[in-house]
């Protein structure tokens, strides 16, 4: 569907994550390509956030360590890009749980 609109694409980027037999994360670009990865940054502040993630990401991070890295990358993006908003909606998916958290920086 997204590829059919390649000449006039939908202006969206999507991250899809979950846990089947192992954690899985995919991003969909505006043309519909499905890209598997260990971490994803999307939106106007993605270039800033991805820099922090690339520098600090390690495989098999503990949940709290990964959460702090995500918060740090998003805070960096929010400080340098007004389109990145002023809060974080965080979804944590593990083998045993699904939780949602919200943090506002107003």
Per residue in 10-64, pLDDT (tens digit) is 777 889 998 888 889 999 887 778 899 999 998 889 999 999 999 999 999 999 9
Q: ∠ CA 3-50-94 to the nearest 5 degrees?
A: 85
Looking at the 3D structure of the chain, how many domains does it have?
1
The CATH number of whichever domain residue 72 belongs to comes to: 3.60.20.10
- Domain span at residue 96? 3-104
Q: Is 45:84 a contact under the CB 8 Å cutoff?
A: yes
Q: Please give the Cα distance from 27 to 42 (Å, whole number).
A: 8
pLDDT tens string 48-63 = 999 999 999 999 999 9
């Amino acid at each position: 569907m997204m590829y059919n609109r390649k000449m006039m694409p939908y202006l969206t980027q999507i991250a899809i994550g979950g846990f089947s037999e192992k954690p899985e994360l995919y991003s969909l670009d505006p043309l519909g390509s499905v890209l598997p990865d260990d971490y994803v940054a999307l939106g106007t502040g993605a270039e800033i956030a991805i820099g922090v993630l690339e520098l600090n990401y390690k495989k098999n991070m503990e949940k709290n360590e990964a959460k702090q890295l995500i918060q740090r990358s998003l805070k960096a993006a929010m400080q340098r890009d007004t389109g990145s908003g002023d809060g974080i909606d965080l979804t944590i998916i593990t083998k045993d749980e699904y939780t949602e958290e919200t943090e506002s920086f107003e």
